[in-house]
Structure 1
Amino acid sequence: MTGKRRKLSNPLALAVLVTLWQKPMHPYEIAQTLRRQGKDTSTKINYGSLYTVVQNLEKHGFVEVADIERKGNRPERTVYGLTETGREEMAEWLSELLARPVKEYPIFETALSLLGALPPDEVVTLLEERVKNLDVRAASERGALEKLYESVPRLFLVETEYQLHMVEAQADWVRGFLEEIRKGSMPGVEGWRHFHETGELPPEFT
């Protein structure tokens, strides 16, 4: 499956499309639904920009005005629904994201790529702290997930399962990496330590 340059690339736009796939809603209800369904744990949601996202979806023909709600003295609320084009865009976009791995740039990877700037012993201390934080987070997410299983179908919790798995996998990897640094079995660790002790860059680093 080849990538397609989309008119909108903000993941929040896809979340809005899928939310409107459930039923037509006004933007405030969309925000409430996203929060209630826990989508703010898997998608960066700026509720202040939600109206702009909906307007952009309408501009591109993915959503349309389905109704204007008038209740007493309250301001009018515009209810939006998916167009057929919007349904197609939603299905294609979601299918592409599920099938095609893309390179992402988590900030932890950036830190790992630059860790040589700190002494090995300091890195060990910092990563030990990270493992403790990851273990606490995993325990918390595992407990929350078990509680959610009691009332929420698993279909709607798979992203939470994935998040937990990735936290546990990261903790396992960091533990293994820490062990290599401590034992000195990681190639280059002695040169790394020597550089921070003397300021001399080992030949193998140049």
Structure 2
Amino acid sequence: MVSKLSKYVMGLLHKRPMNPYEVAKLSDKEVIQRWFPMTAASIYTTIKNLEKKGYIAGKSVQEGNFPVKTVYSLSESGEKELSEDLANGLASYEAEASNFGIALFHISSIEKKDALSYLRERLVKLETLLSDTQEHLELYATKIPFNMKMMLIYQQNRLLMEIKTTEELIIEIEKDEKWDYSFTQYLDS
């Protein structure tokens, strides 16, 4: 299994051979960065690592008077790895220890009023992101490829779930007298 960024780059190269600049330029589009933030430097490093592992191969190309550039394509072993990783990704669910999840686990380490304040701040951010995502869906749904439309729908659904969870958490903290009963206290009892 390769990293998420490696899988992303390999997927692009599966569609067509590209040089690193093309991959970085394509990846810098807002719709991509909103879904998967990355830097050009991380893309270049990923391409070098994929080449070392034999998943991609570079070929020097000279076009007119332009400098020679290296165009990368997926190797046979890269195609096999990508195919297996995509199959696993589509068929699986992985529990992830997100920053929010870890903060939630340790929420009793901060004052109740502060926790509520941070959660309300989070709610505003989530609602803004949801509004932006829905706006993008309305503007681009008929103009973008199927996979990009589905990524926006996926993001919208995740945001709706995050908003619901955050709203429920605020309600529970406000009404629960033992909201700060910690996991370690639970283990000690």
1:31 paired with 2:31, answer no
Residues of 2 paired with 1:181 and 1:93: CA distance?
40
Please say if 1:41 is aligned against 2:31. no
SS in 2 for 1:38: helix
Task: Render the CA deviation track for 1:8-38: whole Å, top value 9, x for unaligned.
Answer: x321111111111111111111112223483
2:150: which partner in 1?
158
Q: Is the Cα–Cα contact under 8 Å of residues 20 and 44 in structure 2 kept in the other structure?
A: yes
Is 1:57 matched with 2:50?
Answer: yes
Q: 1:68/1:109 Cα in 2 relative to 1: closer, same or farther (>3 Å)?
A: same
Question: Do 1:19 and 1:33's aligned partners in 2 also have CA atoms closer than 8 Å?
Answer: no
Question: 2:132 maps to which residue?
Answer: 140
Change in Cα spacing, 1:203 to 1:106, as seen in structure 2 (3 Å) is closer
Q: Report the 3-state secondary structure (helix = DSSP H, G, I; strand = E; otherwise coil) of the residue aligned with 2:73.
A: strand
Aligned position for 1:198: none
Greater displacement, 134-143 / 116-125: 116-125
The 3-state SS of whatever aligns with 1:128 is: helix
SS of alignment partner, residue 61 of structure 1 = coil
Q: Equivalents in 2 of 1:37, 1:139: separation in Å?
A: 15
- The 1:105/1:204 distance shift into structure 2, 3 A limit, reads closer
The alpha-carbon deviation at position 152 of structure 1 amounts to 0.9
Quick one: distance in 2 between partners of 1:81 and 1:53? Answer: 14
What are the within-5 Å matches in structure 2 for residues 13-32 of structure 1? 13-32=6-25
Pair 1:84–1:121, CA change in 2 (3 A)? same
Distance 1:176 1:142, change over 3 A: same
Instruction: Classify 1:67/1:175 alpha carbon distance in 2 versus 1 (closer, same or farther; 3 Å).
Output: same
- TM-fit CA distance, 1:79: 0.9
Check whether the contact 2:56–2:72 (CA below 8 A) recurs between aligned residues: yes
User: Which structure is larger by alpha-carbon Rg, 1 or 2?
Assistant: 1
SS at match of 1:64: strand
Question: Once structures 1 and 2 are overlaid, which stretch shifts more, 142-151 or 39-48?
Answer: 39-48
1:147, distance to aligned residue in structure 2 (A): 0.7
Give the match for residue 168 of structure 1: 160
- 2:167 and 2:30 map into 1 onto residues whose CA distance is 34
Tell me, what secondary structure is at the counterpart of 2:28?
helix
Q: Is 1:90 aligned to residue 77 of structure 2?
A: no
TM-score normalised by structure 2 residue count: 0.85
**3-state SS of the aligned residue for 1:78?**
strand
1:179 aligns with 2:142: no
- Aligned partner of residue 188 in structure 1, secondary structure: coil
The number of aligned residues is 186
RMSD of aligned residue pairs (Cα, Å) = 2.5
Q: Which residue does 1:130 correspond to in 2? A: 122
| d(CA) in 2 for partners of 1:163, 1:40 | 13
